[in-house]
Structure 1
Amino acid sequence: MSFFALGVNHQTASVELRERVAFNPERLNQLLSQQSHHHELHDMVVVSTCNRTEIYAMADHADILLNWLAESNQIEVKQLSNHVYCYENTEAVSHLMRVSSGLDSLMLGEPQILGQVKTALSCAKDVGVVSQQLNQIFEYAFYAAKRVRSETAVGSHAVSMGYAVAQLALQVFSEASTLTVMVVAAGEMNSLVAKHLAEMGVAKILICNRGRERAEKLAQEIAHRVSVEIIPFDQLAQNLHRADVISSCTGSLHQVIAFSDVKAALKKRRYEQMLMVDLAVPRDIDSKIESLDGVYLYGVDDLQSVIDENLAQRRQAAVEAEVMVNQLVSKLVIQQKVDAAADLICHYREQAEMLEQQELKHALESLKSDADPEQVLQAFAHRLTQKLLHPTSILLRQAAQHEDPSHMEWLRESLPEILENRRKSKLDQENGK
């Protein structure tokens, strides 16, 4: 049985296909519950996000995973097979680590994916389709992701507009907890700005949007983190003075924040500094505002140059992260081999103990019949040694006959070293060390 990773992502499949194979949590839980009784595929985790749907599973062959993904979404296997990727064992472990670390994301180094993978594992464990072996692989991948995050700079620099605005606010104002933020328009871009700033612990967010419904939706999404107030769009100018940070992205064909309105707002604020970010094209904010003392005005081009530089730094850090992932994969593979050998070693020791008891019983019976104790002990040692050495002798002969001479070379080099270490250890014990 092997460890497989099979799926589609933003690099191999269109948005339309990704939508067809995506799972919502309720349906996924139902499907995984059914798999707990499946005789071929009952040890699996499914990661489903807007950019990827992946199955990680212990299985005899990959076709089982492909068939399940196709049947679960009523897609022809042939249609799906042109877009899936599949990795096995070492490559599958490496892929899981890269995904968890954000190295395989559309936005290099994005942090959300780790939480999504952890949630996927938790859901699968809740319905009982995760073995100890599969769980250990995932836990090691989380450890790898933590190492990548803490020891490289792959996630350290802002590479999205929303995050860049939030970082800029912290540079202009050293203390986030006292800030009032205004987002002018509650579209996708400003929603990200609001969410990032809410996570950073600002005091209040004012949402100014033309339509009430979208403003209320954004307010509900961030209200658990920050105080929120919705402002009618026709009252924008009257409320500018309340905001330390203003992010505008309306999509309007005309400017919505005028020079005179900001000048009046500054006066009401007693000229306390303001950060204004214009994410709109065409621009929302009058460019002459930049000439006002106490106002920092940034546009899309200003932020994009910062993002491009940061993305280049992330890519450089990703090279270091890839090396780290490869090293951690190698360590896991070695540990898995050691764990696999543990069962064989345990079995061999049980056999040796059984032989010991057999020969001991035979020796004790001989002593009861008044046999010479010295001869009994010699016979006991000889018979036990012969039986213990028999399997090893067979393996040595087979290694000598094997087409690949490296087996015999390894034994030739390793056995004398092991025996010498045992001899030294015995001498140390005899000398009281």
Structure 2
Amino acid sequence: MQLLAIGINHHTAPLALRERVAFPLDRIKPALEMLRGVWPGTAGTAATPPGEPTAIASATAIVGAPAWVGGSAEAAILSTCNRTELYCATDDRGAREHAIQWLSQFHNISVDELAPHVYALPQSEAVRHAFRVASGLDSMVLGETQILGQLKDAVRTATEAGALGTYLNQLFQRTFAVAKEVRGQTEIGAHSVSMAAAAVRLAQRIFDNVSKQRVLFIGAGEMIELCATHFAAQNPRELVVANRTAERGTRLAERFNGRAIPLADLPSRLHEFDIVVSCTASTLPIIGLGAVERAIKARRHRPMFMVDLAVPRDIEPEVSDLEDVFLYTVDDLGAIVREGNAMRQAAVAQAEAIIETRVSNFMQWLDARSVVPVIRQLHGHADAMRLAELDRAQKMLARGDDPSAVLEALSVALTNKFMHGPTHALNRAAGERREQLVELLPDMFRPAGRYSGHH
């Protein structure tokens, strides 16, 4: 059985192509079922279930479905905004070409357009890739944790589709364990690598618990939305949005169970908030030194944490001179982000070392699995010989032969039969082959346990 990871990601394909190759979550299970030929069809093809779109129907029409599409293969699909990947375990040596063909037909994209952007990683490369993806080493934001949850969702969906078996189950369980080990033993995710994350981390340095603080966001653009997402995850006591356009401010506030206030109310209400994050398109400061001085006085000098992400600035720079105000600009947060990136990069080498060790361990397990059919065959052959000699012994006993003589004959016959193959191979071998057998046979026939001669 061969492992294969095949797909496209933000390193190999532009967003426009990634969008076309993406699988909506509700389409992954049907896609896996089609891929593995679950629905009955004719001439080795899988039939299209009722109601499927034409593009999906065409994906099922691969004449003479390849071996890896059969029920003995295993498959899982991971699809996010940055990557679409197919993990499979298959005996088909043409799996790469078949996978590209299937993806192109499923999404109605020509093979010539898709193939240059596809990577195909076999065996240990596939294992290493899965470990790196789950650990956040292959993400657009180094060390991010969202991908691990997305991978777990992909595995859950594949399980529900009946598409996982021994090999991929083992791969993904070890993948999750490696991701946990990397995050537990390195600082790959311990440092802020975005403005929003850095703002939350700075707030946590000033306030023991952000959940006890009132947070004000000024503006309703993309950066404020991102910051609101990060702060909302800390469950603040109150979340408020002030924006020039009331409708847009209200819409953003409602997304996070907050409320909106008119921007004109800001001077009279600034003192209510412990944390203020501002990012507007104003060409002039909207929060002056005097307004903050009055707010601090009304707060009886309880500290205020302020973040100005606007360029030009929303908050007059002189505010940073006030004793009870902690003001950070976009440049301050940028420095923290750069430091965080550098710290995460330093953790990469340690994470890669952990991954290499775990890849080696998995490949040892995979190698051991490869001899399982041979072991089963040996057991079957030996059992057939045992049953034949047992039948002969029972017939001897039935006709009244001496039991001791029967047991002696049984043991001699079994010994001769078990020794025939190795002895014959040794007699026929010559040169290096004979030397190899001479070295191997003692290990193969070494007695175990209490039969080793030590009583």
Asked if these proteins are the same fold (TM beyond 0.5), I'd say yes
CA contact (8 A) 1:152 1:321 kept: yes
Instruction: Determine the structure 1 residue equivalent to 2:42.
Output: none
Deviations 1:59-110 (A, max 9, x none): 4211121112212222111111111111012211111111111010111101
With 288-297 and 133-142 compared, the bigger mean Cα shift is at 133-142
The aligned runs of 1:386-425 (5 Å cut-off) are 386-393=416-423, 412-417=438-443, 419=445, 422=448
Instruction: Determine the structure 2 residue equivalent to 1:427.
Output: 453
Cα distance 1:2–1:215, how it changes in 2: closer, same or farther (>3 A)?
farther
**How far apart are 1:3 and its partner, in Å?**
2.0
Amino acid of the residue matched to residue 140 of structure 1? R
Amino acid of the residue matched to residue 286 of structure 1? E
Instruction: Determine the structure 2 residue equivalent to 1:14.
Output: 14
Deviations 1:32-76 (A, max 9, x none): 443333454364222222211111123421112111221222211
**How far apart are 1:410 and its partner, in Å?**
6.3
Amino acid of the residue matched to residue 52 of structure 1? R
**How far apart are 1:401 and its partner, in Å?**
5.7
CA contact (8 A) 2:250 2:259 kept: no
Cα distance 1:167–1:401, how it changes in 2: closer, same or farther (>3 A)?
farther
The aligned runs of 1:109-128 (5 Å cut-off) are 109-128=143-162
| 2:368 aligns with one of 307, 313, 338 | 338
Deviations 1:376-415 (A, max 9, x none): 43332222112122344466578x569xx5x876655454
Amino acid of the residue matched to residue 53 of structure 1? T
Instruction: Determine the structure 2 residue equivalent to 1:104.
Output: 138
| 1:234 aligns with one of 253, 264, 271 | 264
Matched, 1:55 2:82: no
CA–CA distance in 1 between the matches of 2:426 and 2:237?
A: 74
CA contact (8 A) 1:176 1:200 kept: yes
Deviations 1:279-305 (A, max 9, x none): 122211110000111001111111121
CA contact (8 A) 2:240 2:253 kept: no
CA contact (8 A) 2:278 2:307 kept: yes
CA–CA distance in 1 between the matches of 2:250 and 2:419?
A: 79
| 2:201 aligns with one of 155, 159, 167 | 167
Amino acid of the residue matched to residue 66 of structure 1? I
Deviations 1:99-134 (A, max 9, x none): 111010111101111111111222233333333432
CA contact (8 A) 1:258 1:286 kept: yes
SS at 1:246 equivalent: strand
Instruction: Determine the structure 2 residue equivalent to 1:193.
Output: 227
CA contact (8 A) 2:124 2:363 kept: yes
Deviations 1:300-338 (A, max 9, x none): 111121221221111111111111111111111212232
CA–CA distance in 2 between the matches of 1:118 and 1:221?
A: 26
Amino acid of the residue matched to residue 101 of structure 1? S
With 308-317 and 387-396 compared, the bigger mean Cα shift is at 387-396
With 173-182 and 17-26 compared, the bigger mean Cα shift is at 17-26
Gaps of 5+ in 2: 40-45, 47-64
Instruction: Determine the structure 2 residue equivalent to 1:5.
Output: 5
With 117-126 and 34-43 compared, the bigger mean Cα shift is at 34-43
Matched, 1:303 2:333: yes
Cα distance 1:75–1:214, how it changes in 2: closer, same or farther (>3 A)?
farther
Deviations 1:324-365 (A, max 9, x none): 111111111212232343343234223323322221221233
The aligned runs of 1:9-408 (5 Å cut-off) are 9-35=9-35, 36-37=38-39, 38=46, 39-40=65-66, 41=69, 43-59=74-90, 60=92, 61-223=95-257, 228-371=258-401, 373-393=403-423
CA–CA distance in 2 between the matches of 1:180 and 1:401?
A: 85
Amino acid of the residue matched to residue 177 of structure 1? S
CA–CA distance in 2 between the matches of 1:132 and 1:58?
A: 9
CA contact (8 A) 2:22 2:79 kept: yes
Amino acid of the residue matched to residue 242 of structure 1? E
Deviations 1:190-209 (A, max 9, x none): 22222222222322211122
Amino acid of the residue matched to residue 297 of structure 1? L
Cα distance 1:396–1:115, how it changes in 2: closer, same or farther (>3 A)?
farther
CA–CA distance in 1 between the matches of 2:280 and 2:107?
A: 38
Instruction: Determine the structure 1 residue equivalent to 2:57.
Output: none
Cα distance 1:56–1:308, how it changes in 2: closer, same or farther (>3 A)?
same
Cα distance 1:167–1:395, how it changes in 2: closer, same or farther (>3 A)?
farther
Cα distance 1:357–1:129, how it changes in 2: closer, same or farther (>3 A)?
closer
Amino acid of the residue matched to residue 427 of structure 1? G
Cα distance 1:113–1:174, how it changes in 2: closer, same or farther (>3 A)?
same
Cα distance 1:286–1:410, how it changes in 2: closer, same or farther (>3 A)?
farther
With 44-53 and 364-373 compared, the bigger mean Cα shift is at 364-373
Amino acid of the residue matched to residue 88 of structure 2? A
CA contact (8 A) 1:256 1:285 kept: yes
The alignment yields a C-alpha RMSD, in angstroms, of 2.5
CA–CA distance in 2 between the matches of 1:216 and 1:298?
A: 26
**How far apart are 1:141 and its partner, in Å?**
1.0
SS at 1:205 equivalent: strand
TM-score of the aligned structures, taking structure 2 as reference length: 0.85
CA contact (8 A) 1:163 1:192 kept: no
User: What count of residue pairs does the alignment treat as equivalent?
Assistant: 421
SS at 1:62 equivalent: helix
Amino acid of the residue matched to residue 422 of structure 1? A
CA contact (8 A) 2:214 2:236 kept: yes
